[in-house]
Amino acid sequence: MERDAKIFVAGHRGLVGSAIERNLISRGFRRIVTRTRSQLDLRDGHAVAEFFRQERFDYVFLAAAKVGGIAANRDSPGEFIRDNLCIQTNVVDAAYRTLVKRLLFLGSSCIYPKLAPQPLKEEYLLTGELEPTNEAYAIAKIAGIKMCQAYNRQFGTSFLSAMPTNLYGPHDNFDPHTSHVLPALIRKMHEAKEQSSPFVEVWGSGRPRREFLHADDLADACVHLMESYPEDDIVNIGMGEDLTIRELAELVKAVVGYSGELRFNPDMPDGTPRKLLDCSRMERLGWRAKISLRDGLAGTYRWFLENIAAKSEERRILS
């Protein structure tokens, strides 16, 4: 990408978009355009088309999406499939119509079949049934992948799709009702520590295995792909190693400094038994993750204390 290129980062306030914006700035890109949801609702096709027509971008990172954990996906599947289909359809089509050079679409590792062989290779897509707890979200993401590839074939665009594993880091969603497992554990254990609670409940059996990637590593991989990957085959981005939810909970407990008991609730859903990505395609392109899970967790917890916990305490004092 040319350093004077005009770049749109969709979803710049979220976990992934904010990391991509930081990475681009660190590399010397200065013509970065962003919009908040109140300024531009990406679900509004007319507004998105007019925005792209006026701005005329060179590159687009599509990191905007409606995301959430098991509970959110279970309770609002209609919103997950509707909002994500609208966002990606509007942005991808507008990019094509305004001659954007390259667009990178962010998918998710949940696109792969629930019982696919491990580690998950890109060619396993659409070879089996999806995990029911996030089926609506996964179908929307699969549609986004196929839309990018279809536009490339019919219209000669250069759109690509990256499939990150489970993500975490600054600007994550720590809401107790809609967050993913890692930020949920951080918040639960922090509040239990502050309130001297004797135990913290963890959903599920603790046996499922998950892989976690820091958002700053993902952002670095996305920019690397945008500059060096000429194909439109999907690309996995991950750490290449996983751990059980029980091991994750113990690690979060140590980082937060919580001394109570962990109680696993097997009546709550576990989700996919294992989800580890095969990242050999990304490694052949010369990229590997650099941030260890322990170091990344420590930094994420510091950000949580400075931005989430501090604001909660401020609101408590003011009330």
12 is in an annotated binding site: yes
d(CA 57, CA 101): 8
Domain borders along the chain are: 7-318
> Which tens digits make up the pLDDT trace of 212-250?
999 999 999 999 999 999 899 999 999 999 999 999 999
DSSP string, 306-317: IIIIHHHHHHHH
102-106/261-265 β-pairing = unpaired
Instruction: Check residue 319 and give its pLDDT.
Output: 57
Domain 7-318 is of which CATH architecture?
3-Layer(aba) Sandwich (3.40)
pLDDT at 280 over 80: yes
How long is the chain? 319
The closest alpha carbon to 62, from 112, 7, 110, belongs to 7
Average per-residue pLDDT for the chain = 94
CA distances from 87 to 24, 90, 243 (A): 23, 5, 33
CA distance 35 to 173: 19
pTM > 0.85: yes
Minimal CA–CA distance to 73: which of 252, 203, 244, 171? 203
**CA triplet 101, 103, 105: central angle to 5 degrees?**
170
Tell whether the model's pLDDT for residue 315 goes beyond 80: no
Asked if residue 14 belongs to a known ligand binding site, the reply is: yes
- Tell whether residue 100 is among the known ligand binding residues: no
Query: What percent of the chain stands above pLDDT 90?
Result: 87
Site of tokens 């679900």: 43
159 - beta bridge partners?
103
Q: The tokens 């509970």 sit on which residue?
A: 71
| pLDDT above 70: percentage of residues in the chain | 97
Cis ω before 119 (30° cut-off from 0)? yes
228 in a known ligand binding site = no
Residue 180 counted as an annotated binding residue: yes
The SS3 call for residue 79 is helix
pLDDT in tens, 3-51: 999 999 999 999 999 999 999 999 999 999 999 999 999 999 999 999 9
The reply, when asked if residue 275 is annotated as ligand binding, is no
Q: Which of 287, 151, 140, 132 is nearest to 222 (CA)?
A: 287
- pLDDT beyond 60 at 283: yes
At CB < 8 A and 24+ separation, what contacts does 255-259 make?
A: 255/186, 255/294, 255/297, 255/298, 255/301, 256/186, 256/189, 256/190, 256/193, 256/301, 257/193, 258/189, 258/190, 258/192, 258/193, 258/200, 259/193
Q: List Cβ neighbours of 141 (8 Å cut-off, separation of 6 or more).
A: 84, 107, 108, 110, 111
**Average pLDDT rounded to a whole number, residues 148-172:** 97
What confidence score (pLDDT) does residue 316 get? 55
- For helices 293-304 and 245-256, angle between their N-to-C axes, nearest 10 degrees: 50
Question: Which has the closest alpha carbon to 170: 3, 309, 300, 45?
Answer: 300
Cite the active site residues: 137
Residue 84 to residue 63: CA distance in whole angstroms: 11
Q: Is the pLDDT of residue 141 over 60?
A: yes
